[in-house]
């Protein structure tokens, strides 16, 4: 019984590894359609907090396709690039406003 469980475990592990290799191949097949510059940008992002960036992209995809407002559902999927661009400007403005606030201490220093 133990041997059959071990065999099943290793068979499953091999299947999982094969599935992951196929998944990686599919991702590479999609990435090849990006320009070298786009892939370079993506590569540079992987050196930072890539998991947070991926989470943001997944959240944007979900939010853009199922945005609820006033009991209605909207699909803004086609507007994601423009929305992110505008949102980055808004975040930059918020950062500037936050940095211009006086810091505590005597005479606002």
pLDDT of residue 92: 92
Token pair 């992951």: residue:
20
pLDDT above 90: residue 44? no
Tell me the pLDDT of the chain averaged across its residues.
83
- Given a contact cutoff of 8 angstroms between Cβ atoms, the answer to whether 45 and 53 are in contact is yes
pLDDT above 80: residue 11? no
pLDDT above 80: residue 24? yes
Residue length of the chain: 109
């Amino acid at each position: 019984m133990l041997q059959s469980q071990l065999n099943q475990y290793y068979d499953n592990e091999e299947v999982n590894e094969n599935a992951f290799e196929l998944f990686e191949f599919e991702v590479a097949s999609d990435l090849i359609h990006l320009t070298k510059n786009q892939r370079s940008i993506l590569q540079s992002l992987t050196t930072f907090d890539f998991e947070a960036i991926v989470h943001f992209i997944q959240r944007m995809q979900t939010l853009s396709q199922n945005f609820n407002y006033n009991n209605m559902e909207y699909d803004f999927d086609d507007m994601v690039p423009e929305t992110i661009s505008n949102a980055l400007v808004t975040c930059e403005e918020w950062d500037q406003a936050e940095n211009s606030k006086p810091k505590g201490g005597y005479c606002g220093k």
